[in-house]
Structure formats: C-alpha cells, structure tokens
Amino acid sequence: MAKLSVVLLVVSLVGVVQWAKTTNAEGWARRLEAEKENVTNLQFYFHDIVSGKNPTAIKVAQPSENKSATLFGSIMMADDPLTEGPDPNSKPVGRAQGMYGSAGQNELALIMAMNFAFTDGIYNGSCISLLGKNPAMNPVREMPIVGGTGLFRLARGYAIAQTYWLDIATGDAIVGYNVTVVH
C-alpha cells in the first residue's frame, strides 16, 4: 500500500512537471485550451466602381511605359461597398478596403489584398482578410481567406467570386461573393 502511494505520488509529480513544461513553459508564454471551431458561410455583393465622379476604386500606380494589354503593373486602391443583394441600394453589410493590382503579363490576373470589414448586425466590427489571385475575366474565381478579426478571429477559408454585372467600357463591376470560413 505504501509502495503504491509512493508510485502514485511520483506519477502525479511527473504529471505536474509535464503540465508546467507544456502549459506554462515560460512566464510570458502559455498554451490555452483549443476552442471548438465554427464554420460560417457569407454571401454578399461587391460593387467596384472605377468610372464617374465618385469612383470606389482609384488607380494609385502604373508602369511608366504601357507595354501590355493586361495593364501589368497597375495598382488600384479600393473602398468598395458590400451589399446583401446585387442592387447597389440593397442593405449594406460592409466594405471591401484594400488593393488589387495587375500581376499577369500575358493574362488578366489581379492580385487581391483586401480587408472585408462587416457592419451589419452581430458582425459589425468583424473582418476577414482575402489574399490571392483573381483572374477577373473567368466566370468563377476562388481566392483564399487568410485571417480575420472579431467573430472571425483565426479565420481561414475560401471565397468564390462570380461576376454578376460588368461594364466592359468602363470596368465597373458587381461581383457576387460566396465565402466559407472556419474560425
């Protein structure tokens, strides 16, 4: 019986030491319990207006010589409204703020680096970050979601973008986004 208690004591001490090593290895760093993850699907429309008096996306850089039909090297800064439906006057749900630039020499391939900041309901103040290639002339594009804040902390996932409306002459576009994130 005494032997057994000594064994149990040793086992529990080893346990405590192990805990100290793994959960509190240093005073400034400790591991936390993992929380259960949620999956959220978001569907909204992105309005990118480059023409007219009140563009939502403006060119901030371009190559000194225009050598390509794909506008390779041009960079746009955008603050685009996101709405619930395709109608620009439908309920606003947030804004897409960030940059996109032409990264393709021989194809229209945009590199998108954008923060989608939501403003509606419980999602007001929460953001997701999109970073990836957008071959904008393809009917359907997939881009990675690489992070988030607020309700979307630790988000990762993907965005499926489909052009809903495009004015070829000006480049104005309404794009449907269907985003799935684990967070």
Residues in contact with ligand NAG by the rule CB under 6 A = 35-38, 41, 66, 69, 119-120, 124-125, 178, 180, 183
For every residue of 120-177, DSSP letters joined together read: SGGGTT-EEEEEEEE-TTSSEEEEEEEEEEGGGTT-EEEEEEEEEEE-TTT--EEEEE
Provide, rounded to whole angstroms, the least separation between the CB of residue 29 and ligand NAG.
21
Provide, rounded to whole angstroms, the least separation between the CB of residue 35 and ligand NAG.
4
149 burial class (0-12, 13-18, 19+ CB within 10 angstroms)?
middle
Provide, rounded to whole angstroms, the least separation between the CB of residue 110 and ligand NAG.
16
Provide, rounded to whole angstroms, the least separation between the CB of residue 136 and ligand NAG.
16
Closest to ligand NAG by CB, 149 or 178: 178
Three-state SS at 20: helix
Closest to ligand NAG by CB, 16 or 69: 69
Residues 162 and 19: beta-carbon distance below 8 Å: no
Closest to ligand NAG by CB, 25 or 137: 137
